[in-house]
Amino acid sequence: MTLTEAPRPRSGRAARRAERAAPSVLRAPYIVRGIPTYDILGEESLLRIEAIADRILAEIGIDFRDDPVALDHWRRAGAEVDGLRVRFPKGLLREILKSAPAEFTQHARNPANNVRIGGKNVVFAPAYGSPFVMDLDKGRRFGTLEDFENFVKLAQSSPWLHHSGGTICEPTDIAVNKRHLDMVYAHIKYSDRAFLGSVTAEERAEDSIDMARLLFGRDFADQNCVIMGNFNVNSPLVWDGTMTRGMRAYARANQGVVVVPFILGGAMGPVTNAGAIAQSLAETMAGCALTQLERPGAPVIFGNFLSSTALRSGSPTFGTPEPAIGSMVVGQLARRLNLPLRCSGNFSNSKLPDAQAMMEGTMSMLAAVQCGANYVLHSAGFLDGLLSMSYEKFVLDCDLCGAMHAYLKGVPVGDEDLAMDAFEETGPGMHFFGTQHTLRHYETAYWDSELSDNEPFEKWEAAGQTDAATRANTLWKRKLATYEAPALDEGLDEALKDFVRQRKQAVADQWY
């Protein structure tokens, strides 16, 4: 993994002033964790959860709807297929999953931004799937393609994110059956990082893969992961054909599949953590194994989205402690299967980028990095229970991702870190500001927030008494004003635009 200088804005006097004021950072294409995972359960407890998952799979089973090919896969693999219900003999799924890679690289159009997924590697990506967007100026509203492009640009501008994400918000001003084309094109045009494609229909998944093939070349794409899709189980215990046909499309093209149950405790799963985790394990193993039946060795990520329900009202809740601690166990189970992990993210139910938002988001992000997650979707922008993408929270969350870089580094203890020469230079009662050791590490010793106010109260008061959300409002506007798209070959750009035009002209608009 190489470190590269963060992109520098190059337009206008104000941009140059902002550049001089901004902290100088080195951008890593992904994080290699320097701290261990937090494993909270012992062997006996893990075996009990796995045993319940095996019983769910063998005795209850999982429905696979509207996908006869998936049912045929299961029959040939040795599962019991009764109508749409599939039951799995103990050990079958684990045997199938042996062909899945423990680590893989997703390639970016800029090779310096390739991400390594699995092992000790951690990749942060923006939030995904919100129909609404919000900011302090215009409030909450339906997302548009302009909003989508703005968030791609903000993600590209952040040194603390590593991946462009997928459906960062729904561009509701574009027809449902065509917006995937504009979204994939926006990721390619306005970012040079890895990205996710569409999953809402098999043909949209195929379009996304074909656009990636245009970008990378068909032969290269057949042998390397150049795009991924994020697929959700219809918990409890249902895989619908829209998802499984899309998963199989990505897998047969040798592209990445992220398999994610979405379990709201008390609604789509048990209220108890252990029961929800066992259900999640069963659902995820079945989805991951299906990709291997389609193409052994295709990259797949063991995903998880535990959450809770406010049992007095039935409303979903996010960023709560029970799912956060449950993520620790999910991490242990994924490592026992030797699969990369997507778990947790920056979750919040708050309707504003406020103290609640940051409290809930920090709890769930810490769970993500401590449980060993390799791919962290929803790292930035998640608000309103994922119904809204917030411009202000996006840049606040990127700042938190910067803090997570420092947190995951751990505590190196080499000779330079132990700083004996600094003690020899100062002696008792002297400060360390001017030592050679301090000067050597002056720019890199501590993570430097773009948004936190560390000035004395009087100076903050004289400067306008701004809170974090107000400062974030100013920052995202400045980032968009100074944004410059990474260079894209003109021939490739024209080929992609032509593909989009042809696909759009081939079908009528559908708005549902």
* Statement: residue 10 has pLDDT above 60: no
SS3 call for 258:
strand
Question: Residue 314 — pLDDT band, cuts 50, 70, 90?
Answer: confident
Q: How far is CA 138 from CA 135, 172, 313, 406, in A?
A: 6, 17, 29, 34
The reported pTM is: 0.94
> Which tens digit of pLDDT belongs to each residue from 463-490?
999 999 999 999 999 999 999 999 999 9
Measure the CA–CA gap between 306 and 274, rounded to whole angstroms. 11
Instruction: Write down the pLDDT at residue 310.
Output: 86
| Contact by Cβ (8 Å): 341, 353 | no
| Contact by Cβ (8 Å): 188, 105 | no
**Section 42-50 average pLDDT:** 98
The residues that bridge with 26 in the sheet, in sequence order, are 5
Lookup: tokens for 157: 């501008």
> Which tens digit of pLDDT belongs to each residue from 255-287?
999 999 989 898 999 999 999 999 999 999 999
Measure the CA–CA gap between 388 and 390, rounded to whole angstroms. 6
Q: What is the DSSP string of 305-340?
A: EEEEEETTTTEEE-S-HHHHHHHHHHHHHHHHHT--
Measure the CA–CA gap between 145 and 193, rounded to whole angstroms. 19
Question: Residue 315 — pLDDT band, cuts 50, 70, 90?
Answer: confident
What is the overall mean pLDDT for the chain? 94
> Which tens digit of pLDDT belongs to each residue from 185-243?
999 999 999 999 999 999 999 999 999 999 999 999 999 999 999 999 999 999 999 99
